[in-house]
């Protein structure tokens, strides 16, 4: 998959989150290494990493939205991304959740 081979830095940035002034990752180095060892194609590995990190991001979105993750609607996800993008534009990259 092109994103996995051409844009590894973008993938790393997509997996970052700012949590109470400490930068943490949606996908740990150990988890990434486990995915690397899996008997999967490169595109399947990329999708696996994306799925693991998406699960964690959906938990953040649900918490911020005050709902259970399984109750999130697509509109709540869109609204959350709009809010995070607005924070980034108005307050800078360090104030937003996603760092890219």
Q: Judge whether 9 and 54 are in contact, CB under 8 Å.
A: no
For residue 84, the model assigns a pLDDT of: 93
For residue 9, the model assigns a pLDDT of: 52
For residue 12, the model assigns a pLDDT of: 52
For residue 19, the model assigns a pLDDT of: 42
The domains of the chain are located at 2-95
For residue 5, the model assigns a pLDDT of: 53
Q: What angle do CA 41, 70, 26 make, to 5 degrees?
A: 45
For residue 76, the model assigns a pLDDT of: 97
**Residue with the larger pLDDT of the pair 100 and 52:** 52
Q: Which two tokens stand for residue 74?
A: 């697509």
15 in helix, strand or coil? Answer: coil
Q: Tens digits of per-residue pLDDT, 34-90? A: 999 999 999 999 999 999 999 999 999 999 999 999 999 999 999 999 999 999 999
């Amino acid at each position: 998959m092109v994103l996995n081979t051409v844009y590894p830095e973008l993938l790393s940035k997509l997996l970052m989150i700012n949590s109470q002034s400490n930068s943490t990752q949606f996908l740990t180095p150990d988890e990434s290494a486990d995915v690397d060892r899996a008997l999967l194609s490169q595109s399947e590995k990329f999708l696996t990493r994306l799925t693991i990190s998406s699960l964690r991001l959906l938990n953040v979105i649900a918490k911020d939205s005050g709902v259970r993750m399984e109750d999130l609607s697509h509109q709540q996800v869109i609204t959350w991304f709009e809010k995070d993008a607005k924070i980034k534009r108005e307050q800078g990259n360090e104030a937003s959740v996603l760092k890219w």
